Structure 1
Amino acid sequence: MKAILAGLALFLTHSSMVSAQTADASEALKAAIENPNDDEIVEEFIETLIEAPQGSGFFIVEGDIIITRGEVPSYLRNRQLVDDEEAAGSAKVSSELIVNIVAGKYDFLREPEDRNLTYFFDQSTFRSSEEAELTLSSFVNGATSWTNACPECGVSFTRVESAEEASFVIAFLDDIDGPIARAFFPSYPKDMWRIEVFPAYFSDTMSFDRTGVMRHEIGHILGFRHEHINDVPGCSSEGGTYKPITPYTPGSVMHYLCGEGGSFDLGLRSSDIEGFRCLYTKGDQCMFVE
């Protein structure tokens, strides 16, 4: 089983869903975390990241999350804080459905009016009408999975006719080096509120359910981090601050195919739904025994 999962994780690496780091990239990351104010060392780390599109100043970390060049030092300092806490033995080993934390607060769609999300589907960016239709239907189905899972959470997704009136944009980015897809957290600046799919999303060798990929990306929009965020053997650790919402679920929609977790369908599990409901109806984590 482990050998199979290792092979699947390798496939994921080639399709860019997971940022598998080379030894050089790992060393560059380690050095940058230790020296986030050293411009030369930080630049060496940036050179190991995927910039999509080239020249945009947007870089991909943790597989499908974007940060700007200017945000890299802050990202590294957050990593330093997490690493220091772990070294001191004071940090919780956190592998649950996890919400992002910004300025000490949960990073989610806190106000009811913010949960009425609108989106503009930029069909002009796609290579064909078939790929556009596939993306749109996958997004609609993925969004429906979340809204049906918790009607009382008050989250909705409505298509609008222009980017100016939309909460976010869905588009295709023709960058062969990009991941399968990428999204944003609620705390991101509005000009970064985009879901983008890349050529890998349409690859004949892509084994992941495309609706599932959208479910995963929508999870980020709702504020959820990756399930395998820290100390899951066989998975990459990630930076930033975060808090667990539910017990660890290897099959979570937010879990990459790494370690002994992940799934091809990227479906919502009962703990995903429970965590979503707790955060969006109570504004807090679910009660569970650690």
Structure 2
Amino acid sequence: MKRIVGAWTCLAALVTGSVGCGEAPQEVSPSEAGKDVRSPTWEEFLASAYFQPSTGLYIANGDEVFTSLEELRSYYDARVRRSENGVSRNPLIVNAVDGEMKVWSATQKRHLTYCVDSVSLAARYDAVVRDLGAAMREWESAADVKFVHLSQYDGNCNPAQENVLFDVREAYEPSEVCNVDPKLVGCAPRNEPSPGLPPSYISSIIAQAFFPGVQRSARSLIINSYDLETDERYAVVNNVLSHEVGHILGFRHEHIRIPSTNPSCSGTDWLEVTEYDQQSVMSFTLCGGLDYRRKLSDLDRAGARAIYGLPKDVGADFNRDGQDDLFLYNPTTGAVETRYGHPLMNGLHFEAATQQTWSSNLKLIPGDFNGDGYQDLFRYSPTTGAVEIRYGSAAMGAFVVSPSSQVSFSPGLELIPGDFNGDGYTDIFIYYPATGNVEIRYGSPVMTQLLFSSSSQQVWAAGLKLIPGDFNGDGYTDLFRYNTTTGAVEIRYGNSSMGALSSSASSQQTWSLNLNLVAGDYNGDGRTDLFRYNTTTGAVEIRYGASGSGALLTSPSSQHTWVLNLTLVPGDFNGDGYTDIFVYYTPTGAVETRFGAAGTGPLQFSSSSQEAWSANLKFVPADFNGDGRTDLFIYFPGFGGSEIRYGREGATSFVFSPSSQHLWNPGWELISGYVPSH
């Protein structure tokens, strides 16, 4: 997988102006991205730069900010002018700062905290919060990253605010208004050019972001005040927010690697992650891109996954609209339908076109098996072995049927989804509990049957419980093996091959029997941990994931004793990047949430999360309104009552929503994301 990634520590800006490519968007093949391109002269490169009057900074390539003309020249000499005869940008050439890719660390990528300046944005504050959040959810749905809005700092949100990773604010460029529309009252041509630039040059910055690795004072997402003044101009801002978030994650402009007569549309300092993608949100319209897009392309998503790993959202978004959905299946009658998430806290959207009748007694496994960003459903009949994949799509209708995905497996299998080879496609690990036979069937970009791999076939012990997770944080799904008869445990680690999982003798231990194991990233370090709950004694403990290929880390301070008969539901209910556990006492309906936190200690107690709900409920965790916080769908199996309790910021109880309450038929099996219950 390849995608352009920021290879230095500088700012990124989305610029429009008279110095563009000078030609309409046109199709550019991936092969053209590797052609020889003449290096611009210093004069050409300087003419393509923009001087920002309010800061005194120079912006070049639409991506980089330089503090002086001297620094700009130094960059040109070191990075742009490769030789008098030109520079070859072969797709295999990689250039980076000190040989390193500049992206967020495994820990930081789940805690990209920010504030939004309510003072400078004023009347546009609510719109920016909403639309920027939607842009962030688009990237979060593609990869294992987490943006966290710390709204308590919005009243004092600026580069000096050290309690957030970055700030979002407005900035005024007085000259820009005249550049965009010289006919405005009070506008007049410049009396003299900006320092070092020709008089003919004009440009306008819509928004300006940054790359990972810069100091705090430079970590700002800035929106030009001119573009906030009318709804028409703000619509352009809304369209480029996904592009700016891509910069914050480290992704470069796609067009800098294609041949161009304009130096502002080309560059040499990049690392390739995917092939050239004209439909990318990281492409400029004037530089070969098709338009400014809010939705990521398939290659955008593949590249994001290649860098940051698969997303850890517990829900499933079948139509890829940013809100998780709920699939309803009656195992007795075969009746199915999909209820779609909604951005408001008013329940799920009904769509009659999704109602169908499938076979009875199916096992349904959600996953993105063809890597297109839509969650699919893997259908398996435990009695006949018949399998098929039904594919998600943008339409609010029935899933896409794929006859070529219809094959037969053996009956009586246990199926576990994960990206075991880290290629961005969901795979299925097949385990036959009666004999211990295992193999992996691999996902691929086409809507067909999963790929067979004879080298993945092995014989394991019978009677195992298998928990998927990335326990060492290397981007591959691993399997935690727990023998419920002996207590023997081991981790088998994913790898880049399409073969067997890697064994690890150092991960082998003996644990207690009768454990309920709940996977999650409780300390937010990018590695999967296991919450252990002994169903006979009530003893609890967290074993934390670690780098390498050894055993999980013991945490004596996380050891406590809870009551029996608890249902434990994982999710990030307050959206802070740490997995929490919803604790439900089945006999009485008493509930509370224990919140994840940094370190290797226990979950955090919160008395304000304690409430009394009804007994004997069923729960499905997912982000149904797309706000970055896990919600709980509540179902009363006996009579079909349902409602959603919505997650919210802070360590407190859920948001009650009367408008989400409905009476459904009893007997539904409810499916969103894959949450193993062992």
Query: How high is the TM-score relative to the length of structure 1?
Result: 0.71
Counterparts in 2 of 1:175 and 1:100: CA distance versus 1, 3 Å:
farther
SS of the aligned residue for 1:118 comes to: strand
- Cα deviation per residue 1:123-160 (whole Å; 9 max; x = unaligned)? 2123x32x22222222111111111222xx24333324
Match of 1:273 in 2: 301
1:127-276 to 2 correspondences below 5 Å: 128-129=122-123, 131-150=124-143, 153-162=144-153, 163-176=161-174, 177=176, 178-202=204-228, 203=230, 206=233, 209-233=236-260, 236-239=264-267, 241-276=269-304
Rounded Cα–Cα distance in structure 2 between residues aligned with 1:141 and 1:99:
32
Q: Quick check: 2:206–2:237 contact (8 Å CA) kept in 1?
A: no
Match of 1:50 in 2: 51
Match of 1:87 among 79, 85, 97: 85
Q: Quick check: 1:115–1:155 contact (8 Å CA) kept in 2?
A: yes
Rounded Cα–Cα distance in structure 1 between residues aligned with 2:235 and 2:51:
21
Rounded Cα–Cα distance in structure 2 between residues aligned with 1:121 and 1:99:
35
Counterparts in 2 of 1:259 and 1:124: CA distance versus 1, 3 Å:
closer
Counterparts in 2 of 1:100 and 1:158: CA distance versus 1, 3 Å:
farther
Rounded Cα–Cα distance in structure 1 between residues aligned with 2:130 and 2:95:
28
Rounded Cα–Cα distance in structure 1 between residues aligned with 2:259 and 2:100:
25
| Offset at residue 279 of structure 1 (A) | 1.1
SS of the aligned residue for 1:140 comes to: helix
SS of the aligned residue for 2:246 comes to: helix
Q: Quick check: 1:120–1:166 contact (8 Å CA) kept in 2?
A: yes
Match of 1:61 in 2: 60
Counterparts in 2 of 1:199 and 1:132: CA distance versus 1, 3 Å:
same
Rounded Cα–Cα distance in structure 2 between residues aligned with 1:257 and 1:122:
29
Q: Which letter does structure 2 place at the counterpart of 1:108? A: V
Match of 1:122 in 2: 117
216-225 vs 69-78, greater mean Cα deviation: 69-78
Q: Quick check: 2:281–2:297 contact (8 Å CA) kept in 1?
A: yes
Query: How high is the TM-score relative to the length of structure 2?
Result: 0.32
Counterparts in 2 of 1:22 and 1:136: CA distance versus 1, 3 Å:
same
Q: Gaps (5+ residues) in structure 1? A: 1-14, 24-28, 35-44
Rounded Cα–Cα distance in structure 2 between residues aligned with 1:268 and 1:161:
30
Larger Rg: 2
Aligned pair 1:20/2:19, yes or no? yes
Rounded Cα–Cα distance in structure 2 between residues aligned with 1:213 and 1:48:
20
| Offset at residue 212 of structure 1 (A) | 3.2
Bigger share in helix: 1
- Cα deviation per residue 1:12-68 (whole Å; 9 max; x = unaligned)? xxx943672699xxxxx723689xxxxxxxxxx499622151xx2333222354332
Q: Quick check: 2:167–2:220 contact (8 Å CA) kept in 1?
A: yes
Aligned pair 1:77/2:77, yes or no? yes
Q: Quick check: 1:123–1:132 contact (8 Å CA) kept in 2?
A: yes
Rounded Cα–Cα distance in structure 1 between residues aligned with 2:166 and 2:306:
25
Q: Quick check: 1:245–1:275 contact (8 Å CA) kept in 2?
A: yes
SS of the aligned residue for 1:229 comes to: helix
Counterparts in 2 of 1:19 and 1:147: CA distance versus 1, 3 Å:
farther
Q: Quick check: 2:116–2:169 contact (8 Å CA) kept in 1?
A: yes
Counterparts in 2 of 1:175 and 1:280: CA distance versus 1, 3 Å:
same
Rounded Cα–Cα distance in structure 2 between residues aligned with 1:146 and 1:243:
19
Rounded Cα–Cα distance in structure 2 between residues aligned with 1:272 and 1:143:
14
Q: Quick check: 1:116–1:156 contact (8 Å CA) kept in 2?
A: yes
Match of 1:113 in 2: 108
Q: Quick check: 1:100–1:223 contact (8 Å CA) kept in 2?
A: no
Q: Which letter does structure 2 place at the counterpart of 1:31? A: W
SS of the aligned residue for 1:105 comes to: coil
| Offset at residue 99 of structure 1 (A) | 9.3
Rounded Cα–Cα distance in structure 2 between residues aligned with 1:212 and 1:133:
16
Q: Gaps (5+ residues) in structure 2? A: 1-13, 23-39, 154-160, 177-203, 310-421, 423-473, 476-495, 497-678
Counterparts in 2 of 1:100 and 1:168: CA distance versus 1, 3 Å:
farther
Q: Aligned residues, how many?
A: 245
- Give the % identical residues: 24
Q: Quick check: 1:173–1:196 contact (8 Å CA) kept in 2?
A: yes
| Offset at residue 204 of structure 1 (A) | 5.3
232-241 vs 172-181, greater mean Cα deviation: 232-241
Q: Which letter does structure 2 place at the counterpart of 1:103? A: D
Rounded Cα–Cα distance in structure 1 between residues aligned with 2:101 and 2:275:
17
Q: Quick check: 2:16–2:205 contact (8 Å CA) kept in 1?
A: yes
SS of the aligned residue for 2:115 comes to: strand
- Cα deviation per residue 1:175-199 (whole Å; 9 max; x = unaligned)? 1424000000112222100000003
Q: Quick check: 2:116–2:168 contact (8 Å CA) kept in 1?
A: yes
| CA root-mean-square deviation | 3.6
SS of the aligned residue for 1:196 comes to: strand
